[in-house]
Structure 1
Amino acid sequence: MTTAATPPGRPQPSIGGRATARALCVLAPNPSPMTLDGTNTWILSEPDSALAVVVDPGPLDEGHLARVVAAAEEQGKRIALTLLTHGHPDHAEGAARFAELTRTPVRALDPALRLGEEGLAEGDTVTTGGLELHVVPTPGHTSDSLCFHLPADRAVLTGDTVLGRGTTVVAHPDGRLGDYLDSLRRLQSLTTEADVATVLPGHGPVLDDARGAVEFYLAHRAHRLAQVETAVESGLRTPAEVVAHVYADVDRAVWPAAELSVRAQLDYLREHGIIDLP
């Protein structure tokens, strides 16, 4: 889910295929202004293991789900587990059907999305076939958003928290800007303390400058927040008025999503006593 601007780094020229030693991307056929080229479904496995983990099966598209299974089999892998970064349909709608096809449990933060007894929570480490993933709660885009740290590849799977192109939406009212800023700072810490270098996003190309991407997101969000504050001070009152002024450089097709972010920004400014609006 994207608005304008692009994070730094050298993105891959194409989307889909091998991204790291342990990560293979299968692109879902659901391109749109909100999903960019489509949803990135990730197949993760140790090179010498026969077991694989899939992150975000994507939409309920039988052809796509079959291609994910086939891509794993072509690598000599059997899918043993499905994980979800969050519950938006472009990431999670196909999870139940994918679980039927692969006979795998589905683990997610939101209990409503789980198939099986185990969920996901802060501090969890997922291990399958020698593969190790650390669960990183990153609320903000949605309340149930997670990232997955793949230490062996110095990579992080970010779902919609950081995209490969453009910037994401704070999906008000479930998404909250304060939470999102805290989540970006948590990812920033991963880039410095855990040496994470690569972003494997839910949409768009892989980014090879994780630290630069996260710092860009923080700067971009601060800039937009200042623009919203200035817009209110100039007399604009409704979210739609603020969107038309602040997001004039953005494709109108994503203005409805931009309005969600503006509502989150207005809530944030009110909560911190910076503006006084009903």
Structure 2
Amino acid sequence: MTEAASAPGRPRAGTIDGPATERATCVLAPNPSPMTLDGTNTWIVAEPDGRSAVVIDPGPLDEGHLRKVIAAVEEGGRRVALTLLTHGHADHSEGAARFAELTRSPVRALDPAFLLGGEGLTAGQAVEVDGLVLRVVATPGHTRDSLSFHIPADGAVLTGDTVLGRGTTMVSHPDGDLGDYLDSLRRLRSMTVDDGVGTVLPGHGPVLRDAQGAIDYYLVHRAKRLAEVETAVEDGVRTPAEVVARVYADVDRTLWPAAEQSVRAQLEYLRGHGLIE
């Protein structure tokens, strides 16, 4: 879910709905909104010559969308072997149970509440399906259960809502945590150096072909917002709503409730580090 639908100086590309890398194809869900940008990106991932596919984030409970995803898998002569969730927000997970029913495939996630016929996921493990290898990366912060999935063969990472294709993401306080989120961004940043990750396949918005640049932008943006919140408090601004009105004045007002969640997370972070009272 996005905190800001656009950001000055950030490159903006077209909506993705189709192949993005050699192994990953996007099917865009019909749920556009200020919070979901163009809609939820449902990802189909498979080896080029594989007969089985992994679907990541089936999206909302929309029968037409779920059947469109299945049709896209079958068009390639494949079947759905497994469904994975980046996190439990409804715009990513609500359709999972129905999708599992339609495809007779298990659902795996970090949060046990979303498991259907499959085991949980743990950081660092490799999920292997018909030659495809996906590595599970713990990226909490947006939510406690947020995961990313690294496709080593494509030099790509599926980030859910941790990094979006446009704008910046919210920290879903109190479930999310800013300290965890910053650590997750640094973990993804290190993957651009150590693991050859060059492409971000986000949960919303277009594909980012400069993963390092995108993550660096996020880190700079977070530091800037945090400093602005700290200054606002030092100037006597007290409530989260008042901080939003001052610090997020450049953000569409429809997104202020999401921004307020991030502000609450920022205030908690600043207090925890002794930077404000």
TM-score band w.r.t. shorter chain: over 0.9
Give the structure 2 partner of residue 167 of structure 1: 168
Q: Which runs of 5+ in 1 are unaligned?
A: none
The answer on whether the counterparts of 1:11 and 1:207 sit within 8 Å (CA) in structure 2 is no
Determine what percentage of the aligned residue pairs are the same residue.
Answer: 73
Kept after mapping to 2: 8 A contact 1:11/1:208: no
Q: Is the 8 A contact 2:58 2:66 kept in 1?
A: yes
CA distance in 2, matches of 1:185, 1:121: 19
User: How does 1:49-88 map onto structure 2 within 5 Å?
Assistant: 49-88=50-89
Matched residues in 2 for 1:172 and 1:25: separation?
29
Report what 1:267 is aligned to. 268
Within 1, Cα distance between the matches of 2:258 and 2:271? 20
2:111 corresponds to which letter in structure 1? D
- Confirm or deny: 8 A CA contact 2:15 2:38 kept in the other structure: no
Q: Secondary structure at the match of 1:133?
A: strand
Which residues of 2 match residues 189-204 of structure 1 at below 5 A? 189-204=190-205
Instruction: Note the C-alpha offset of 1:8.
Output: 7.5
Note closer, same or farther for the CA distance 1:209–1:9 as it changes in structure 2 (3 Å cut). farther
The two structures have a TM-score, normalised by structure 2, of 0.97
Q: In 2 relative to 1, CA 113–26 (structure 1 residues): closer, same or farther, beyond 3 Å?
A: same
Q: Does 1:131 align with 2:132?
A: yes
Secondary structure of the corresponding residue to residue 18 of structure 1: coil
C-alpha change, 1:45 and 1:125, in structure 2 (3 Å) is same
For residues 270 and 3 of structure 2, the distance between their equivalents in structure 1, rounded to whole angstroms, comes to: 21
> Could you say what secondary structure the match of 2:159 adopts?
strand
CA contact (8 A) 2:15 2:205 kept: no
Greater CA deviation, 113-122 or 152-161? 113-122
1:41-79 Cα distance to aligned partner (Å, 9 max, x none): 000000001100000000000000000000111111111
Residue-pair matches, total: 276
CA contact (8 A) 1:80 1:128 kept: yes
Pair 143,206 (structure 1): closer, same or farther in 2 beyond 3 Å: same
Residue 116 (structure 1) shift: 1.8
C-alpha separation in 1, matches of 2:251 and 2:7: 12
CA RMSD, Structure 1 to Structure 2 (Å) = 1.2
Aligned positions of 1:82-121 closer than 5 A: 82-121=83-122
Query: How much does 1:117 deviate?
Result: 3.8
For residues 51 and 61 of structure 1, the distance between their equivalents in structure 2, rounded to whole angstroms, comes to 23
After TM superposition, list the pairs within 5 Å mapping 1:133-148 onto structure 2. Answer: 133-148=134-149
Say whether 1:151 aligns with 2:152.
yes
> TM (normalized to structure 1)?
0.97
- Deviation at residue 219 of structure 1 after TM alignment: 0.4
Q: State the alpha-carbon separation in 1 of the partners of residues 188 and 240 from structure 2.
A: 29
* Residues 7 and 165, structure 1, Cα contact 8 Å, conserved in 2: no
Per-residue Cα deviation, 1:172-226 (whole angstroms, up to 9, x for no partner): 0000000000000000010000010000000000000000001100000000000
What's the offset of the Cα at 1:91?
Answer: 0.1
Measured in 2, the distance between the counterparts of 1:9 and 1:208 equals 13
Q: Which residue of 2 aligns with 1:255?
A: 256
Shift, 1:153, TM fit: 0.4
Q: Compared with structure 1, are the counterparts of its residues 41 and 271 closer, same or farther at alpha carbon in structure 2 (3 Å cutoff)?
A: same
Cα gap change, 1:125 to 1:6, in 2 (>3 Å): farther
Which residue pairs with 1:28 in the alignment? Answer: 29
Supply the distance in 2 between the matched residues of 1:181 and 1:7 (Cα, whole angstroms).
21
Higher relative contact order (CA 8 A, sep 6+): 1
Report the counterpart of residue 215 of structure 1 in structure 2.
216
Partner of 2:241: 240
SS in 2 for 1:216: helix
Task: Check the 8 A contact 1:8/1:216 in 2, yes or no.
Answer: no
Q: Secondary structure at the match of 1:3?
A: strand
Taking structure 1 as reference, are residues 97 and 7 closer, same or farther at Cα in structure 2, changes over 3 Å only?
farther
Aligned to 1:48: 49
User: Deviations 1:69-125 (Å, cap 9, x if unpaired)?
Assistant: 001111111110000000000000000000000000000000001112411001210
Instruction: Name the stretch that deviates more: 115-124 or 211-220.
Output: 115-124
Which amino acid is the alignment partner of residue 2 of structure 1?
A: T
